[in-house]
Structure 1
Amino acid sequence: MGSFLLYKNILVRGVDMDETIRKCKDRFMEIYKSSVSREGASDFLEWLEGTDFFVAPASTRFHGNHEGGLLQHSLNVYDCLNEEIANAGLQEVYSAETIAIASLLHDICKVNFYKKGFRNAKDEETGQWYKKEVYEIDEKFPCGDHADKSIIILQNFMRLTAEEILAIRAHMGGWDNAVKGGNGFVGKIFERSKLAVLLHVADMKATYFMESST
């Protein structure tokens, strides 16, 4: 669980953030380059290098709402998904490429999605108000729901398999805005795709870990 350990180090041991992000990026690159080789993979990686993926937060207020949070969360989901697949005895069913794409890139919709801002906050010790640096949403590509957008971005570079699409589309499960609308199709995806179920569980575990560690 390499990325879990890196995240713990930030909180417990005070490891330098820049160094932690560098280590996480090195691990991401190692996994991606050794696992993903389909047509368009190198073009996607070149595009990704030009975005804020490696330093972006994973959210504005909750899990990974800090520099490098998106990268760390993605690696945590990768670790959790591999663990869930092993526990289910499905190592021979899903390729290393599919596992890497579904887990490392499920939240690619959050690339270039946030910007730094400020809000008023009160110091509990002094009672003085100050400007606290926060992340705000700065949507530049309003196209589809959360997971739909990830699929659209990825398909611009490489062809996804049907099961990869289903897994990424349903990874948020009941928290997905589309499900809140009442159409219920994510449940049908879970019935059809074991990978979708396992990615959902992996994402929830990784999210819980980051939230409970802050």
Structure 2
Amino acid sequence: MKEQVDSLLAIYDERKPIQKDGTFSQESVQETILSMADFIISEKESLSNLKDWMDSHDFWTSPASTRFHGNVKGGLAAHSLLVAVQALRFAIPFAENFALSKQAGNFSFTAEDVFISGIAHDFCKAGTYATESRKTKDFNGNWKYETYYKTKNDVRNLGHGNESVLLLLESMPHLLKNRTVIEAISRHMGFSDLSPMESYNYSNLLQNPLVLLIQLADQTAAQWWDL
């Protein structure tokens, strides 16, 4: 796995699409994600379908939120790329540490699993925001119209993580049997996205190392925008 992880990170580091202050090139983010996907995703029909899905669902232009990290045009793709990259940077020491645990024989993950989980963890946000404007006062007290993002009224959602899993499976149905990836995306929000019934067996999901890896990557990637 290490060789593939290093190759993926080399693609990102060579292009440098996102700067330390959170600024990014929307075009470079897209090119980097597609280059990394071309390199690591082995199921080529699903890869083609995934690219079509991203284009048709406004993945490249959607914000990552209305108020918090990545609340700008293209923020969703940029944040998703950061999550994938953070997860890849942590993947090797994380896997080596997990190999020492009593659960090591029950779970494994690949560089492809890490990349897909990071890129797809917030698929539910693609195309779910609309732009509106409101009157605000500027520094001099003059009224002006300010554009902001708002969740569309007709959005239907099965839950943050579960909706993202469902959308991923639209383009990559071969992942239906990959519970490692499905659980990582479904539970990437931790306890904050659980119903009371789901919380009863949550500890079982934490045995999956990719669940913890994507949670960690999501939290650290958000720091680029100071949350």
TM-score range normalised by the length of the shorter chain: 0.7 to 0.9
- In structure 2, distance between residues paired with 1:182 and 1:97: 31
**Alignment partner for residue 56 of structure 1, among 62, 69, 92?**
62
TM-score by length of 1: 0.84
How far apart are 1:34 and its partner, in Å?
Answer: 1.1
- In structure 1, distance between residues paired with 2:135 and 2:16: 32
Give 2:149's aligned residue: 135
Stretches of structure 2 that go unaligned for 5 or more consecutive residues are 1-11, 100-107
How far apart are 1:108 and its partner, in Å?
Answer: 0.9
Give 1:187's aligned residue: 203
TM-score by length of 2: 0.79
**1:134 aligned counterpart, secondary structure:** strand
- In structure 2, distance between residues paired with 1:197 and 1:188: 12
Q: Counterparts in 2 of 1:1-214, with a 5 A limit?
A: 2=13, 6-8=18-20, 11=23, 20-38=25-43, 39-90=45-96, 93-123=108-138, 125-138=139-152, 140-158=154-172, 159-160=174-175, 161-176=178-193, 178-179=194-195, 181=196, 183-184=198-199, 185-190=201-206, 192-211=207-226
- In structure 2, distance between residues paired with 1:61 and 1:148: 22
Contact 2:21 2:224 in 1 (8 A): no
- In structure 1, distance between residues paired with 2:95 and 2:204: 22
**Amino acid in structure 2 at the alignment position of 1:189:** L
Aligned residues: percent identity?
27
How far apart are 1:37 and its partner, in Å?
Answer: 2.5
**Amino acid in structure 1 at the alignment position of 2:58:** D
Question: CA 1:145 to 1:48, structure 2 compared with 1: closer, same or farther past 3 Å?
Answer: same
Contact 2:189 2:215 in 1 (8 A): yes
- In structure 1, distance between residues paired with 2:31 and 2:203: 36
Q: C-alpha deviations, 1:34-78, integer Å up to 9, x for none? A: 111225221121222223111110000000000111011011101
How far apart are 1:117 and its partner, in Å?
Answer: 0.8
Question: CA 1:131 to 1:187, structure 2 compared with 1: closer, same or farther past 3 Å?
Answer: farther
Question: CA 1:200 to 1:9, structure 2 compared with 1: closer, same or farther past 3 Å?
Answer: closer
Stretches of structure 1 that go unaligned for 5 or more consecutive residues are 12-16
**Amino acid in structure 2 at the alignment position of 1:8:** K
**Amino acid in structure 2 at the alignment position of 1:153:** L
Give 2:3's aligned residue: none
How far apart are 1:10 and its partner, in Å?
Answer: 6.0
CA RMSD of aligned residues (A): 2.4
- In structure 2, distance between residues paired with 1:144 and 1:5: 32
**1:156 aligned counterpart, secondary structure:** helix
How far apart are 1:155 and its partner, in Å?
Answer: 1.3
Contact 1:53 1:111 in 2 (8 A): yes
Contact 1:78 1:104 in 2 (8 A): yes
